Structure formats: structure tokens, C-alpha cells
């Protein structure tokens, strides 16, 4: 018979196991170059490491509108234009073209449930959105109400992150400072992709010994417990190190893979990686996609690449608030990079 203490201990283990991949994503973000994220009321902002910023607004959380969202994207640098897309969702589907009403501005004939706003209408649309409480989108008899609660704070934060406050190109707080004072775009980090080496005769035995040493850890962290050991794989990533990858179910929503580095010269307890996700032996990369609880099941995604020394973050993004869109309305990158195969990098 289980005691209350043992039941509590098991519940705690399952909770920590379910949280582990999400905590790994947070740790990876902390280890990557800073990128700005901000939320206020029904709006949110995510800037990436190149200073490109994306602001998204949604229907009011306590309202009765079906999901609706608008995405405002702006790259860094003086006098850069803004790009705007809108998206709606209905379980009954969207019939006919959309029309967007924002104050005095009416934009017609937007095709599909996701549509881009023409560049000539983008700035006038933002100017209208900043001075009203709601905007509406219609298609046939369907109507969606976009909340503008929080837009000023979010777009002001966008201006701040890009160094636009007080310049003519600022969206919220304009001024006479020269556009040349606006912060420039930062270059994409270049990551060299190093692919695994062919397996050696001893690799299988090294992997089995590592699994034996880790069996208790795996049993505690994975829903499948010891069953996960049967699906483990070992891949040689360089002359003296191997990657041990163990598929692992965590919580009711997510599955991932736990990964360790094994050193074949100094056998000991393998080194656990923060990079938890599926390993692609063809590219030397690890990818994680985690579903968060809530309406719409929003996703967070992180990718890592082996660069010959370590697995480094190459991409991070998430759906943000999500607000009822299945899988999220938009991907909001927090970190981006350019991955270059090692053979091409040498040229």
C-alpha cells in the first residue's frame, strides 16, 4: 500500500518531469543573446536578436469574439517600413473576402483567413489603431472584434527597442531627432553545422554502458520509465564524443528526447544537455517543440546545432498569447541565426 508521502513524491516527480523541457527552453533563452519580450493587456511584443520586432494584438480575453489577430512587423534601422497581416478563425470556416474597419479607414477584399495589408495602407492603419478602442473584421455574416487595449504600450516598447523614440519614424512618440540615430539591424549569427561521424565498433558498447549508468535517472524523468531505454540511440559526433539520445514522454501533452554527451576517453557519468529534443543525425541538430496548456495549445520551439564544440541555440520562437488559435496565430521569433554546413563554410 502506498503511503501519502510516497504518492506525494511520485506526483512531484511527474510534475518536475513534465516541466523539465519547458525549463530547458527558459534556460536556453537565458543563455542566448538578449531579445525583448513584452505583454500588456491584449497585445504582446517579441523582438529577436537582429532587432526585428513583431507586435501582435488579439480579441479581448473576456469578450465573445471568435479568435482574431493582427501582426505588425518592423525590421531595425532608419526609415524601415512596417508590414501588417491579419488573421481570423472560426470553427464554421471563413466565407468570402475579409474587410477591416479601423476608425475612418476601411480596407476591403482581403483574401483568405490570413491576409497581408497593402504597404500603402500599413502606416495609415497603425495611426487609426492607436486612436480607437476596437477594430472589426467581417466576412459575410461573420464579424470579429480586435481589441486595441495595450497597443500604445506595446508599440512604444517596439520604438524603444529599435531606438526610434523622438524620431519622425516612431510609431507612438514622434520627434525631430534624426533618423540616423535609430539603432541599426544586428547581423545574423552564423553557426557552422558539423555533422556526425561514422559509427565505430566500440560505440554500441559505450552507449549500453552509459544507459546502464543513467537507467535510474531515465526511469524518474520519462513517463515510459525503463521502456524508453529500448529506443535509445548513440551517435558519434566527433573523434572522442558520442551523443546518447533517449525518447521520453513528459506530462500529458509533450514528448521529447533526453540527450547526453559521452566521452569515450574518460568513461564516467555522461554529461546531460540542456538541449532536450529530437536529434537529427543527418544534420547534427536537435529540435524541441513544446505544447503549453490553454485554449489553442500554443507552442514553443527551440533548435540547437552541433558546431564541432557544443550544441548551440540556432532558433527560438513561440506562439505568444495564442488566444484560441489552434497552434497559435503567429510564430514570434526570439532568436534567429544562419546555419552554414561546415563544407561550405570552408570555401
What is the three-state SS of the chain? CCCHHHHHHHHHHHHHHHHHHHHHHHHHHHHCCCCCEEEECCEEEEECCCCCEEEEEECCCCCCCCCEEEEEEECCCCCCCEEEEEEECCCCCCCCCEEEEECCEEEEEECCCEEECCHHHHHHHHHHHCCCCEEEEEECCEEEEEECCCHHHHHHHHHHHCCCCCCCCCCCCCCCCCHHHCCCCCCCCEEEECCCCCCCCCHHHHHHHHHHHHHHHHHHHCCCHHHHHHHCEEEECCCCEEEEEEEEEECCCEEEEEEEEEECCCCCCCEECCCCCEEECCCCEEEEEEECCCCCCCEEEEEEEECCCCEEEEEEEECCCCCCCCCCCCCEEEECCEEEEHHHHCC
pLDDT over 70, % of the chain: 85
In a shared domain, residues 165 and 206: no
Residue 24 has pLDDT above 80, yes or no: no
Residue 16 has pLDDT above 60, yes or no: no
**Domain endpoint, select from 147, 181, 215:** 181
Q: pTM of the full predicted structure?
A: 0.86
What's the pLDDT tens digit per position in 221-265? 887 666 778 889 999 999 999 999 999 876 656 678 999 999 998
In a shared domain, residues 67 and 211: no
What's the rounded mean pLDDT across residues 21-31? 39
| Within a domain: 17 | no
Q: What is the pLDDT of residue 226?
A: 67
In a shared domain, residues 196 and 151: no
In a shared domain, residues 89 and 110: yes
| Within a domain: 15 | no
| Within a domain: 177 | yes
**Domain endpoint, select from 130, 155, 181:** 181
| Within a domain: 22 | no
In a shared domain, residues 196 and 120: no
Q: What is the pLDDT of residue 68?
A: 98
What's the pLDDT tens digit per position in 62-73? 999 999 999 999
The enclosing domain of 102 has a CATH number of: 2.60.40.1880
| Within a domain: 288 | yes
In a shared domain, residues 330 and 274: yes
Residue 194 has pLDDT above 70, yes or no: yes
**Domain endpoint, select from 151, 181, 211:** 181
| Within a domain: 16 | no
- In the structure, what pLDDT confidence band is assigned to residue 75 with cuts at 50, 70 and 90? very high
What's the rounded mean pLDDT across residues 8-24? 36
Residue 18 has pLDDT above 70, yes or no: no
- In the structure, what pLDDT confidence band is assigned to residue 133 with cuts at 50, 70 and 90? very high
| Within a domain: 320 | yes
pLDDT over 90, % of the chain: 73
Number of structural domains found in the chain: 2
In a shared domain, residues 91 and 154: yes
Q: What is the pLDDT of residue 243?
A: 98
Q: Which domain holds residue 90?
A: 37-181
In a shared domain, residues 71 and 165: yes
- In the structure, what pLDDT confidence band is assigned to residue 36 with cuts at 50, 70 and 90? confident
| Within a domain: 86 | yes
What's the rounded mean pLDDT across residues 42-46? 98
In a shared domain, residues 177 and 198: no
What's the rounded mean pLDDT across residues 151-176? 98
In a shared domain, residues 158 and 217: no
What's the pLDDT tens digit per position in 268-321? 689 999 999 999 999 999 999 887 655 546 889 999 999 999 999 999 999 889
Q: What is the pLDDT of residue 344?
A: 85
In a shared domain, residues 137 and 277: no
Q: What is the pLDDT of residue 269?
A: 81
In a shared domain, residues 202 and 339: yes
Q: What is the pLDDT of residue 2?
A: 35
Amino acid at each position: 500500500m502506498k503511503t501519502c508521502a510516497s504518492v506525494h513524491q511520485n506526483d512531484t516527480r511527474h510534475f518536475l518531469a513534465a516541466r523539465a523541457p519547458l525549463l530547458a527552453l527558459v534556460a536556453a533563452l537565458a543563455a542566448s543573446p538578449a531579445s525583448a519580450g513584452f505583454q500588456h493587456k491584449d497585445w504582446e511584443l517579441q523582438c529577436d536578436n537582429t532587432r526585428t520586432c513583431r507586435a501582435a494584438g488579439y480579441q479581448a480575453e473576456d469578450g465573445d469574439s471568435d479568435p482574431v489577430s493582427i501582426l505588425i512587423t518592423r525590421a531595425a534601422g532608419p526609415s524601415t517600413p512596417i508590414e501588417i497581416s491579419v488573421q481570423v478563425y472560426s470553427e464554421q470556416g471563413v466565407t468570402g473576402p475579409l474587410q477591416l474597419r479601423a476608425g475612418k479607414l476601411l480596407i476591403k477584399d482581403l483574401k483568405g483567413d490570413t491576409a497581408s495589408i497593402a504597404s500603402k495602407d500599413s502606416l495609415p492603419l497603425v495611426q487609426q489603431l492607436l486612436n480607437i478602442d476596437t477594430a472589426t473584421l467581417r466576412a459575410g455574416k461573420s464579424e470579429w472584434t480586435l481589441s486595441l487595449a495595450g497597443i500604445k504600450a506595446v508599440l512604444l516598447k517596439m520604438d524603444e527597442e529599435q531606438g526610434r523614440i523622438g524620431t519622425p519614424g516612431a510609431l507612438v512618440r514622434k520627434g525631430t531627432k534624426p533618423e540616423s540615430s535609430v539603432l541599426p539591424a544586428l547581423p545574423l549569427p552564423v553557426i557552422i553545422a558539423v555533422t556526425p561521424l561514422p559509427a565505430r565498433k566500440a560505440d554500441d558498447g559505450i552507449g549500453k554502458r552509459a544507459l546502464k549508468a543513467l537507467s535510474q535517472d531515465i526511469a524518474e524523468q520519462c513517463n515510459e520509465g525503463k521502456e524508453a531505454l529500448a529506443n535509445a540511440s548513440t551517435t558519434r559526433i566527433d573523434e572522442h564524443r558520442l551523443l546518447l539520445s533517449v525518447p521520453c514522454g513528459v506530462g500529458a501533452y509533450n514528448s521529447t528526447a533526453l540527450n547526453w554527451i559521452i566521452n569515450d576517453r574518460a568513461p564516467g557519468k555522461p554529461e546531460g544537455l540542456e538541449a532536450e529534443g529530437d536529434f537529427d543525425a543527418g544534420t547534427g541538430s536537435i529540435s524541441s517543440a513544446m505544447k503549453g496548456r490553454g485554449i489553442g495549445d500554443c507552442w514553443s520551439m527551440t533548435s540547437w546545432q552541433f558546431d564541432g564544440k557544443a550544441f548551440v541555440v540556432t532558433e527560438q520562437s513561440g506562439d505568444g498569447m495564442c488566444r484560441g488559435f489552434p497552434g497559435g496565430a503567429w510564430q514570434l521569433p526570439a532568436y534567429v541565426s544562419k546555419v552554414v554546413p561546415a563544407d561550405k563554410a570552408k570555401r
